[in-house]
Amino acid sequence: MSGMKMLQVELETARFDPQQEAARLAALNSTGILDTPPEPGYDAITRLAAEHFRADWAGISFADESRIWVKSHWGQQMREVPRKDSIFDLVLAEDGPVVIPDISHLPQFNGLPQSLRVLDAVFFATVLVRSFDRKILGLLSIYCRESRHGLTSDELRILEGLADMVSRELEMRRLRNPYTGRRLRKPRRTTANAQAGWPRSADLRRALGQRQFVLYYQPEVELSTRKIVSLEALIRWEHPERGLILPKDFIPVAEKSGLILPIGDWVLSEVCKQIQKWCSEDPHLNSLKVCANLSARQFSRGGLSGYIKALLLQSGISSRQLCLEITESSLIPNKSTAMEVLGSMHDLGVSLHMDDFGTGYSSLNYLHSFPFDVLKIDRSFVGRMTDGDQPLQIVRTIIELARIMGMEVVAEGIETHEQCRLLQQLNCRFGQGFLFARPMSAEAVTRLLRLPGRVLPS
What number is the average pLDDT over the span 205-231?
95
Paired residues of 62 in beta bridges: 69, 138
Question: What's the average model confidence in pLDDT over 62-81?
Answer: 86
pLDDT at 185: 37
As a whole number of angstroms, the distance between CA 433 and CA 219 comes to 8
Average pLDDT over residues 78-87: 77
Residue 168 sits in the same domain as residue 235: no
Report the C-alpha gap between 308 and 248 in whole angstroms.
25
pLDDT band at 291 (very low <50, low <70, confident <90, very high): very high
- Indicate whether 23 belongs to any domain: yes
Q: What is the mean pLDDT of the chain?
A: 83
Whether 362 shows a pLDDT value over 50: the answer reads no
DSSP-based three-state secondary structure for 130? strand
Which comes out higher in pLDDT, residue 380 or 321?
Answer: 321
For residue 239, the cross-strand partners are: 243
- Higher pLDDT residue, 194 or 235? 235
pLDDT at 302: 64
Whole-number pLDDT of residue 376: 92
243-245/289-293 β-pairing? unpaired
> Cα–Cα distance between 115 and 78 in angstroms, integer?
10
pLDDT category of residue 13 using cuts at 50, 70 and 90: very low
The domain that contains 384 carries what CATH number? 3.20.20.450
The helix (run of H) or strand (run of E) holding residue 138 is strand 136-144
Of 10, 11, 56, 54, nearest to 151 by C-alpha is: 54
Residues 307, 269 share a domain: yes
Lowest mean pLDDT among 48-62, 93-107, 225-239, 252-266: 93-107
- In this structure, are 351 and 415 located in the same domain? yes
- CA 425 to chain centroid: 38
Same domain, yes or no, for 22 and 82? yes
Residue 322 lies in a domain: yes
Query: 67 - beta bridge partners?
Result: 82
Instruction: State yes or no: pLDDT of 360 exceeds 60.
Output: no
Do 225 and 331 lie in one domain? The reply is: yes
Q: Which domain holds residue 228?
A: 206-454
Query: Does one domain contain both 34 and 110?
Result: yes
Distance CA 413, CA 434 (A): 7
Q: Is residue 10 part of a domain?
A: no
Structural domain includes residue 1: no
Task: Please state which of the ranges 153-162, 210-219, 286-295, 429-438 shows the lowest mean pLDDT.
Answer: 153-162
Between 159 and 66, where is the model more confident? 159
pLDDT exceeding 90 applies to what percent of the chain? 38
- Supply the pLDDT for residue 333: 62
- 194 located within any domain: no
224 & 339 share domain = yes
Residue 3 pLDDT > 70: no
How many angstroms separate the CA atoms of 165 and 171, rounded?
A: 10
In this predicted structure, what is the pLDDT of residue 220? Answer: 97
- What was the pLDDT predicted at 113? 58
DSSP state of 455: B
Give the CA distances from residue 288 to residues 19, 221, 232, 282, 445, in Å, rounded to whole numbers and listed in that order: 51, 11, 11, 11, 12
CA distance 163 to 414: 41
User: pLDDT by residue (tens digit) across 257-286?
Assistant: 888 888 988 999 999 999 999 999 999 899
Residue 189 located in a structural domain: no
Domain end point (choices 176, 192, 217): 176
Please tell me the distance from the alpha carbon of residue 131 to that of residue 171, in angstroms, as a whole number: 7
195 inside domain: no
Determine what percent of the chain falls in helix, strand and coil, rounding each to the nearest 5: 45, 20, 35
Q: Stretch 326-347: mean pLDDT, rounded?
A: 78
Number of domains in the chain: 2
User: Running DSSP on this structure, what letter comes out for residue 14?
Assistant: P
Q: Tell whether the model's pLDDT for residue 20 goes beyond 50.
A: yes
Same domain, 345 and 422: yes
Q: What are the angstrom distances between the C-alpha of 359 and each of 155, 313, 399?
A: 38, 35, 15
| Same domain (yes/no): 356, 431 | yes
Please state, in angstroms and rounded to a whole number, the distance separating the CA atoms of residues 434 and 350.
27
> Is 123 found in the same domain as 245?
no
- Maximum separation of any 2 CA atoms in the chain, in Å: 81
> Could you tell me whether strands 98-100 and 430-431 are parallel, antiparallel, or unpaired per DSSP bridges?
unpaired
Domain boundary among 125, 158, 176: 176
Query: In what side-by-side order are the strands of the sheet with 80-82?
Result: 80-82, 67-74, 57-63, 136-144, 123-130, 98-100
How do residues 141-155 score in pLDDT, each as one tens digit? 999 988 888 888 888
CATH number at residue 51: 3.30.450.40
CA angle 219, 223, 224 (to 5 degrees): 135
Residue 193 lies in a domain: no
Res. 174 pLDDT band, cuts 50 70 90: confident
Residue 28 identity (one-letter amino acid): L
68 with 146, same domain: the answer is: yes
Of residues 89 and 33, more confidently modeled: 33
The 10s digit of each residue's pLDDT in 120-136 is: 778 889 999 998 788 89
The model's pTM: 0.69
Q: What is the Cα 393 distance to its own chain's centre?
A: 38
Q: What one-character-per-residue DSSP string does 207-237 give?
A: HHHTT-EEEEEEEEEETTTTEEEEEEEEEEE
Same domain, 266 and 410: yes
Q: Is residue 158 within 8 Å of residue 45, measured between CB atoms? A: no
Q: How confident is the model at residue 189 (pLDDT cuts 50, 70, 90)?
A: very low
Distance (Å, rounded) from C-alpha 267 to C-alpha 366? 26
Q: How far is CA 368 from the centre of its chain?
A: 26
Which of these, 445, 368, 375, lies nearest to 412 by C-alpha position? 375
